[in-house]
Amino acid sequence: MSAKVRYFRSQNYRFDQEISEKHALEKGFYVRGTFIEEQPERAEIVIQGQLDSVVYYGRDTKDRDLVRQHRQQYGAVAMTIYDRPLLTPEGELQTLSEWNASGELIQITKRLVDDHKEPLREEIVDSQGALRGIRRFEYEGTYLARIIFTRADGAEIVELED
C-alpha cells in the first residue's frame, strides 16, 4: 500500500475539485491530501500559503497517541480526527473531534450525511460532553437553502444560503 498525494480546492475529494500541485502552490489556498487506495488518510489544509490545520481519517476521535504524534510532526497546528463512519437507516453517521493548536480537545461533532455526503444534521458537544447545540441543514431540491443552529439554551441562529 503506497500513499499518494493529491491536491484539491476543498475537502470535497471529487475529480472535478482536484488541482495540480503547481496551481495549489500558486493559489495559496488548498487541501493536500494523502490517500491510500483512494481513501483519504490525512489532509493538510493550507490557507494563504500557511498550514492551518490537519485532518486525519479513519482513526479513533480520542486517540491521544495520534495527538502527540501530530504535535511532534506539525508543532502548534490545529487538528481534526474523523472516526470510521457508521451506516444507519437515516444515512452515514460521522464522528469528528476538533483539537486546538495546543493539543486540547475543543469539541466532538456527530454528523449525519445523506447518500451524496451532504450534511443533514450535526450534534455538537464540548470536551466534557455538554451539548453546545444542534445544526440542521435544509435543502430546496439539491441546493442548501438554510442552516439552523439551535444552541443548548434553545436560541436559534438561521443562516440563509445564496
pLDDT averaged per 10 residues, the chain (length 162): 90 88 94 93 96 97 95 97 95 96 96 92 97 96 93 94 73
Whole-angstrom Cα distance, residue 139 to residue 142?
Answer: 6
Whole-angstrom Cα distance, residue 31 to residue 41?
Answer: 13
Entry pTM: 0.88
Angle at 19 between CA 13 and CA 22, to 5 degrees: 140
Whole-angstrom Cα distance, residue 36 to residue 148?
Answer: 36
Residue located via cell numbers 442552516: 147
26 to each of 29, 45, 48, 101, how far by Cα in Å?
A: 9, 15, 10, 26
